[in-house]
Homo-oligomer: A and B are copies of this chain.
Amino acid sequence: MYERKIKRTYICGLDIISEIIGGKWKPCLINLIHKNVLRPSDLQRAMPRASRRALTIQLNELEAHGIITKTIYPVLPPKVEYRLTEIGECLLPITIAMDNWGNEYMDQFKHLLEGKETEQDEGANP
């Protein structure tokens, strides 16, 4: 198990929430699970740009932090489902607002951020 070399301190609220949803794919995972995309393979399909490893790690962290629960069905082939906890659902107003904000200003920032490109469709995302 990996142990941080630099201990973290949590003083203001932003320290906490950045630990909870700061991971690259966490807000996306939360929103997808809320939309009933519950199984790892479905999540993977929904966010093809994330590696399986990244997904597993972030799902584990979300579970450890009490944001989601993990249900393992003892069947073959294995079946796992994640669901939001009550606390996890409290995050939805934030994660959804983030997604909405980004979509609203998407056009404006796409050019700014990507330099000059115009369009280019790649893997789909929620």
Which residues of A pack against B, CB within 8 Å? 7-20, 24, 27-28, 31, 49, 64-66, 87, 90-91, 93-95, 97-106, 109-110, 112-114, 120, 122-126
Contacts and interface: CB of A to CB of B under 8 A. Distances in A.
Q: How many copies does the complex hold?
A: 2
A22 B87 CA distance: 22
A65 B18 contact: no
Given A12-B28, A13-B104, A20-B102, 9 more contacts: A9-B120, A14-B27, A15-B102, A17-B102, A18-B27, A18-B102, A64-B112, A65-B109, A94-B98
Contacts of A113: 8, 10, 16, 19, 65
Given A16-B106, A18-B24, A109-B65, A10 B114 contact: yes
A79 to B, nearest CB: 27
Contacts of A13: 98-104, 106
A65 B94 CA distance: 21
12 contacts: A9-B120, A10-B114, A13-B103, A14-B31, A14-B99, A15-B102, A17-B99, A18-B27, A18-B98, A87-B105, A90-B101, A91-B101
